[in-house]
Amino acid sequence: MTDIPLRLFDTYERRVREFTPLDPAEVRLYACGLTVYDYAHIGNLRTYIFEDVLRRVLEYNGYRVLHVQNVTDVGHLVSDADTGEDKMEKGSRRTGKSAWEIAEFYFQAFQADLARLNVLPPHIWPRATDHIAEQIDLIRCIEAKGYTYLARDGVYFDTSRLPDYGYLARLDLEGQQAGARVEVGEKRSPTDFALWKFSAPGEQRQMEWPSPWGAGFPGWHIECSAMAAKYLGPFFDIHCGGEDHIMVHHPNEIAQTQVCYGTRLANFWMHGYFLQVDEAKMSKSAGEFLRLQTLIDRGYDPLAWRFFCLGAHYRAKLNFTWEALEGAATAFNRLRIAAHEWSAAGPGTPDAEFLQRFQADINDDLNMPRVLALAWELARGPLPPADKRATLLEFDRVMGLGLAEWQPSADEVPAEIAALLERRQQARREKRWQDADALRAEVRSAGFEVEDTPQGPVARRAR
């Protein structure tokens, strides 16, 4: 427990403000989940690492947290503007599996990725397809209040009826209407959005349900308003997601909830900024994408990805390069080797001054880059090794790098592994990064980890 106030950036108010829970007994947290039509890419995982840090910081501050994260297994169309195919049905066509099988398969793959990143699982994982009745009820409520209209292809939310629609995004509605050359389809206005979409005439969808308006499926935004209200109530502490949600998804969630319950859903709205590759947005629709397994296949420990993400503030865009990942992996190994070596000194006591500074950093809008800098300062400083370790393990309650458990296995290294290692060093000196990575993968597949120590790279038998 700390006496330093927790301050978080709230996108709704566009400022850092002090966090106090609505109910001191429990902080209620909702995170938008993955659309399970494909593997998560490492950009998605950056957002879930940010949300995990947020949850750990809340817990470090002594709060009990109830964390709900939905599973989008229906209704997310290829374009966020309600046009194009349903991503699930598209995934089904791509793989030849049913939309239901796809959802299950990628949901499990996602859970496995989160576990490998030490991301704590949410307490409740509600699926959109398990909450069709709740979504229909919410649409009926919005309809009864007069905020919907019926179009040929679905039931839409009429954003023109809500004067402060889009406040979260700071949308200039009049400016938008004036310049509207956007494809609106059946909508009256570009900002209107589907609450329920009808199955196309003659089309047999794999996922469809009867409704008061006709057979079809829920729009993408209604699931979050309905499931958040069900598990957390219509006004809870923190709602989070990636920065893309500031413009469309979250304003729509707020609009739905506001009409039916008169609240803006959450007290704090928090957004993680994007991971980019070569300065361009990383997305699945753009074709090839990097997933956690891609990094593992190249010989990286998945936690090196977590370490890489901790090196940037969650409200800064982060650019991915293999070189930068290699740097993070090297630094991470250095840190855990040091932490392991300190364990020889036996049990120690966390240093009060370092802990105080650590708490100040995490409570200053989750400043993890400063926490990493503090960890290096601790490592290089004069404290007794046992106390260094005890202090670092306190930091690790939030960093989540698994430092307490990690152990190198210092078996003898066969000559052929040593030779591979030397060739990798040569490749790195010549900046042939791909070759270096391939050699590292070779070492890895022979059952060894490469650790870059101040004395040069060392291979150790993987556990």
Site residues (CB under 5 A) for Zn ion?
A: 32, 224
Query: Which of 338, 326, 293 has its CA nearest to residue 427?
Result: 326
Q: Which is nearer to ligand AMP, 206 or 283 (CB)?
A: 283
Out of ligand AMP, Zn ion, none, what residue 274 binds, judged by CB under 5 to 8 A for its kind, is ligand AMP
Q: Which is nearer to ligand AMP, 75 or 299 (CB)?
A: 75
Using rule CB under 6 A, residue 275 touches ligand AMP: yes
Give the count of residues interacting with ligand AMP (CB under 6 A). 17
Using rule CB under 6 A, residue 251 touches ligand AMP: no
Query: Given CA atoms 224, 226, 230, 232 in this order, what sign does their dihedral have?
Result: positive
Residue 250 CB, nearest approach to ligand AMP (Å)? 10
C-alpha to C-alpha distance for 461 and 451, rounded to whole angstroms: 11
DSSP 267-321: EEEEEEPPEEETTEE--STTS----HHHHHHTT--HHHHHHHHHTS-TTS-EEE-
Query: Which of 54, 4, 7, 21 has its CA nearest to residue 364?
Result: 7
Out of Zn ion, ligand AMP, none, what residue 244 binds, judged by CB under 5 to 8 A for its kind, is ligand AMP
3-state SS class at 29: strand
Using rule CB under 6 A, residue 400 touches ligand AMP: no
Q: How far is residue 239 from each of residues 59, 94, 152, 234, measured CA to CA in Å?
A: 16, 33, 33, 12
Using rule CB under 6 A, residue 11 touches ligand AMP: no
Candidates 28, 46, 424, 428; binder of ligand AMP (CB under 6 A) is 46
Residue 378, both tokens: 């601790």
Length of the chain (residues) = 463
Residue 241 CB, nearest approach to Zn ion (Å)? 6
Looking from the CA of 347 toward its CB, the CA atoms found within 13 Å total 0
Candidates 12, 19, 44, 375; binder of ligand AMP (CB under 6 A) is 44
C-alpha to C-alpha distance for 453 and 231, rounded to whole angstroms: 48
Using rule CB under 6 A, residue 159 touches ligand AMP: no
Using rule CB under 6 A, residue 401 touches ligand AMP: no
Candidates 34, 142, 399, 436; binder of ligand AMP (CB under 6 A) is 34
Out of ligand AMP, Zn ion, none, what residue 224 binds, judged by CB under 5 to 8 A for its kind, is Zn ion
Residue 460, both tokens: 């150790």
Q: Which is nearer to Zn ion, 250 or 306 (CB)?
A: 250
Using rule CB under 6 A, residue 219 touches ligand AMP: no
Helices (H), 235-278: 249-261
Out of ligand AMP, Zn ion, none, what residue 80 binds, judged by CB under 5 to 8 A for its kind, is none
Q: Which is nearer to ligand AMP, 241 or 299 (CB)?
A: 241
Using rule CB under 6 A, residue 91 touches ligand AMP: no
Q: Which residues pair with 339 in a beta bridge?
A: none
Do 147 and 209 form a contact (C-beta atoms < 8 A)? no
Give the footprint of ligand AMP on this chain (CB under 6 A): 32, 34-35, 43-44, 46-47, 72, 241-242, 244-245, 272, 274-275, 281-282
